[in-house]
Amino acid sequence: MAATLAGGCASLGARGEARVAFDEADRLFRQGDYQAALAGYERIVGEYPEAADRALFEMATIHAHPKNARKDYARALESLQRITADYPASGYRHDGEMMAFYIDSVLSKDQVIAGLQAQAKTLRQDLGAREDDIAALRQQIAALEQKVFAFAALTGPVDRILIEKKARLLKLISKGEVIKSYRVALGGNPEGAKDRQGDNKTPEGMYFIDAKNRDSRYHLSLHISYPNEQDRLRARELGVSPGGDIMIHGIGNGLSWVGGAHADIDWTKGCIAVTDGEIEEIDGLAPVGTPVEIRP
């Protein structure tokens, strides 16, 4: 009788200790300290096997909890399977099997999602490659459009001629775009605007092509309408002749072989010189009446 009472007291004591252990683990669970709660439930499984079914169920719940940063569905299923195997008569078995069913459903959906994500990644990669192809095609189209524009411009008259003395450049302008540039040689005294005959300066101002000479001693020449009214007024104020015969011309005189090297020095008497081939090209694109702007 005494032994029976002693055994009963021991059993009551164990249940009391298990209850205390559960209270502590439950408290940690409610506070969101999932790892500490798991440790508490695992201790209950090891020390109080008669209460292990509930502890295993709580462990499965923690492993599958959406707020658990270390969520582990595999370990949740492992805990639930132990309830079914080791505690077939447990009241937690049915709930555990239902939880296992839901976890399996989640895992299946996760696999579907993973597959879709992989497909999306592949599609994004394909799209990226196609975007690169599209960008390359757009660049090719832009380049072709430029060529078409340049061809169209070069097959018709230009809008104006711009001469930049400091840069030693003659530019053909069509529809606001520079379609061709040429290196030029200027008058032997290139600084400043021409104001008198014989100063070897190249004029500065707004003019136009007013004549052409295809029998020029400089291969071919386009006469510029210098002097304009401002040039005449300035020369009159200075009491000098403004001069004239300012042209855009080639090299000529049997020196065509010099080519582009002619522009290394300023050798004209105030004209603008290009190569013989270039003056032929300019002649074909700039009819009489084409505006000519000469900038410092």
Long-range contact pairs involving 85-90 (C-beta distance under 8 Å, separation at least 24): 86/52, 86/53, 87/52, 87/53, 87/56, 90/53
What tokens appear for 99 in the block?
């939880």
Q: Would you give the distance in Å from CA 150 to the centre of its chain?
A: 27
Query: Can you tell me which residue has the tokens 């380049």?
Result: 143
Residue 13 has pLDDT above 80, yes or no: no
Tell which CATH classification among 3.30.70.60, 3.40.50.2300, 3.20.20.370, 2.40.440.10 matches the domain 160-295.
2.40.440.10
pTM over 0.75: no
Model confidence pLDDT, tens digit, residues 45-55? 999 999 999 99
Structural domain boundaries of the chain?
1-155, 160-295
- Kindly indicate whether the domain formed by 1-155 is annotated with CATH number 3.40.50.40: no
Q: What is the pLDDT of residue 8?
A: 42
- The Cα–Cα gap between 145 and 152 comes to 10
